[in-house]
A = this chain, B = another copy of it.
């Protein structure tokens, strides 16, 4: 893991890193983050590691909870080149949109391909992050990702025992139900009640599929992109309950 840039604002240190082909960001409290809990954040489709929805939540998690937060660009997203497969997926998505057809099937195919590449990348990133002295091995780790972030995060959490709590949502069960049924950690699941892209029953079916004893569905009135702002704070409280609060100085 190589750090390539560092900036600081509002008490949050932001560091760019690369790990092989992976480009990422690590946010930490300027006041110190010795062995603080770590939250991994996966962005939505067509977005990137510093999209407003990621950046705003990362800052909130760092400032409110004292966490370290890491985000990486998904394959073919952000600072990463697109493969021929990525281009084919985008073309299939645009074709469905242009024809006025449901984009669901194309999205499921994209997520299956992306997850196959992104899950090992996330695991390698986690290995490298845990070698940093400010994070360390054995600390509590959470995952946050909705939409495409759920398409990658559910398969990741199903195979990654270091993740002990996760926020998912805004996606249906197609292609994910089997992985969800292997997940037993606490889940907070966001669903938009009037989602124009995700069938309500399919979103409810994904929530239902998690084997977790503690799972909470937050369904809000509104369309796909209208997740209310108060859910940012709700996610922070969820992670604080399960990961603990970050310290601000070495023990």
Residues 173-206 of chain A, each 1 if its beta carbon lies under 8 Å from chain B, else 0: 0000000000000000001010000000000100
This chain: copies in complex: 2
B228 and A220: CB pair below 8 A? no
For chain A, give the interface size range.
20 to 34
A22 to chain B minimum Cβ distance, whole angstroms, is: 34
The dominant DSSP class at the A interface is: mixed
Tell which of B204, B230, B233, B237 touches A230, judged by Cβ atoms closer than 8 Å: B237
Asked whether A218 and B217 contact (CB < 8 A) given A230-B241, A234-B234, A241-B230, the answer is yes
Tell which of B215, B218, B241 touches A216, judged by Cβ atoms closer than 8 Å: B218
Residues 207-251 of chain A, each 1 if its beta carbon lies under 8 Å from chain B, else 0: 110001111111111000000101001100100010000000000
> A220 vs B215: C-alpha distance in the bound complex, in angstroms?
6
B193 and A217: CB pair below 8 A? yes
> A220 vs B207: C-alpha distance in the bound complex, in angstroms?
10
B220 and A216: CB pair below 8 A? yes
B216 and A217: CB pair below 8 A? no
> A237 vs B234: C-alpha distance in the bound complex, in angstroms?
10
Residue of B nearest to A187 (CB): B221
A219 and B219: CB pair below 8 A? yes
> A227 vs B233: C-alpha distance in the bound complex, in angstroms?
20
A209 to chain B minimum Cβ distance, whole angstroms, is: 12
Residues of B within 8 A of A193 (CB): 208, 215, 217
Residue of B nearest to A219 (CB): B217
B212 and A221: CB pair below 8 A? yes
Residues 114-126 of chain A, each 1 if its beta carbon lies under 8 Å from chain B, else 0: 0000000000000
Residues of B within 8 A of A219 (CB): 207, 216-217, 219
Residues of B within 8 A of A204 (CB): 204
A216 and B228: CB pair below 8 A? yes
Chain A residues with CB under 8 Å of chain B are 191, 193, 204, 207-208, 212-221, 228, 230, 233-234, 237, 241
* CB<8 Å pairs between A and B, sample of 14: A191-B217, A193-B208, A193-B217, A204-B204, A207-B219, A213-B221, A214-B220, A215-B221, A216-B218, A216-B219, A216-B221, A216-B228, A219-B219, A230-B237
